[in-house]
Each structure stands twice: as structure tokens, then as C-alpha cells.
Amino acid sequence: ALLKFVKFVQFVALLKFVKFVQFVALLFLCAAPVACAPQPLTVTRQPVHIRLVVSDACSGLLDELTRAYHRARPWVTFQVAVYNDEVARERLLSGGADGGAFIWLEDPATLWATLLVSDAVALVVHPEVPIEDLTLDQARELLRGRIGEWPDGTPVQVVSREKGAGTRAVVQAVVMGPHSLTLTAQVVVSDASLLATVSRTPGAIGYVPASRVGEGVRPLKIEGLAPAPDPNYPLTYPVLLATVGEPTGELREWLQWALGPQGQAIAEQALQRK
């Protein structure tokens, strides 16, 4: 009887051990899927650096677009160099940049280009000039130097951008035609300088992008129309994004973003009229 009791105790102990082993195995099997489940991969993007050459007429707009894109995609950085349109185009064609932004291209066929947004050239005068509106013919005669005084007798002083500037090319093509600016024009090399010169010079007239017009000068209507990127306003111009050949890689991604809803909203805000 004692032997049977001992065997019974051994059997119960063995049974308990087997159940314990089964329990441990069950715990392992339950935990294994969690431990062995594939973990999400963290992808480190390779840094991308994009070099742009930009017309000074649209430099503020491009600054807004590149900053916004970098905030959304921190691995993409931009180097933005600002020139007049002629110099920017030469830099792009010589390989000094990956892409560019222009308001005037002498030979568009040499580049791949697409429309980003439209702006317009505004003729601006000193605030005391006693006129509000000009025809294209009157504007041409003023800029040629054929009209030397305003109606109140104040001498006319033409202020112009340098050759190669996009705004000067627009004025030459639309207003001047085959004629040249007066030799007495005061030539400056930036829109900021032009605005400052016109604002402090009685009788002065010049031209800048409509989006740059601010205090200290007064924009004139042309043919009855206020300066604005409208098909009926004669000095409307396109802002073009351009590359040498069709863009690829991250440059293409940025261009598509700039032409999409986010980029267009930023562009419209950057070009709001003052």
C-alpha cells in the first residue's frame, strides 16, 4: 500500500510538471508573434541640394516657394542666386544651376520651361506727378524723352533698369517697340533702387513688377487699366520655371509641387498687390 501511495504521489507530481511545461510553452507561443513581428523601417532620405538662378523680378516669390518646400521635405535644400534675367539664363545654360525662374527669355526654345504664375509691369511716378492714366503711345513718348515736361511744368526724369533686366525687356517689347529709351534716363540695377529713386525725384517715372509697388510711388493706369496680371492689361508677363532639358528627380518633384495647389496658393499670396 505504501508503494502504491508513493507511485501515486510521483504520478501527480509528473502530471503537474507536464502541465507546467505545457503552460510555459503556451506562453512562449503567444509571445512569439509579438517578438518576431516585423518592425516598421525608418527610411533616412539622402540629402538633395538644388541650385536655382532667379530673376530679381520674382526673387521674393521663389524664396517663399523654396522655404515652404524645405519645411515639408527637410532633406531638400536650395541655393538661390539672384540676377537679372539675361545673366540668370547664361548661368543656367553654362551649367551653373539646376533650374531657374525668369520673366523674360530671349530664346525660350533653348530651355524646357513651364508657366508658374503671371505678374505685370507697373509704370510708377513720383506721388506729385499730376496724371493718373497714360496710353501706350504717351508712355512711349515719355520714355523716349519726346515729352519733357508734365502738365504742371515739372521736368520728366526717366528711371530705368539696366539692359538684361526682365522688366526692361517687357517695356521694350510692349511699349517702346523699335525705339530706344532716352539717353538721359537714370539707370539703376535693382527694383528697390528704382523705387527709391522715383520716390525722391520730382517728375520721375519708372517701372517695376506690380507686386513690388509700395509706398512712396504711385502706379499709373495704362489704357485705362490698373497694373495687374490680366490678359487685357498690356504689360502682363509670365513667370517661367525653366531647366536645361526635362527635369528629373527631386527637381521635378519640386516643380510639380510648385505647380500644384500648395505651390500655387503660396505664389498667389506672395504676389498680392500692396
pLDDT at 28 (0 to 100): 47
170 and 244 belong to one structural domain:
no
Residue 145 shares a structural domain with residue 129:
yes
The overall average pLDDT reported for the chain is 89
72: domain CATH number is 3.40.190.10
pLDDT tens-digit series, residues 206-239? 999 999 998 999 999 999 999 999 999 999 999 9
**Does residue 186 form part of some domain?**
yes
Q: Last residue of a domain, which of 222, 246, 262?
A: 222
Does 109 share its domain with 243?
Answer: yes
Task: Check whether residue 135 and residue 216 sit in a common domain.
Answer: yes
- Residue 225's SS3 state is strand
| pLDDT score at 10 | 56
- Residue 125 in any domain: the answer is yes
Q: What is the pTM of this model?
A: 0.82
| Residue 69's pLDDT band (cuts 50, 70, 90) | very high
Beta strands in the chain (DSSP E): 48-55, 76-83, 99-102, 112-125, 133-134, 157-161, 186-188, 204-209, 218-219, 221-222, 236-243
**Residues 53 and 109 placed together within one structural domain of the fold:** yes
Contact 240, 103 (CB under 8 A): yes
d(CA 126, CA 128): 6
Cell of 25: 510553452
Residue 54 in any domain: the answer is yes
**Are 246 and 114 within one domain?**
yes
**Domain membership flag for residue 22:** no
Whether 36 is in a domain gets the answer no
Domain extent, residue 59, equals 48-118+237-270
Instruction: Answer yes or no: is 258 within a domain.
Output: yes
Residues 124 and 201 in one domain: yes
- When pLDDT is averaged across residues 35-44 and rounded to a whole number, the result is 58
**Quick one: pLDDT at residue 45?**
81
Is residue 169 within 8 Å of 177, Cβ to Cβ?
A: no
- Alpha-carbon distance of 94 to 244, in angstroms, equals 10
How many domains are contained in the chain? Answer: 2
Cell of 237: 508677363
Q: Return d(Cα 194, Cα 189) in angstroms, integer.
A: 8
Q: Is residue 212 part of a domain?
A: yes
For residues 125 and 105, state if they share a domain. no
What is the rounded average pLDDT of the residues 196-201?
98
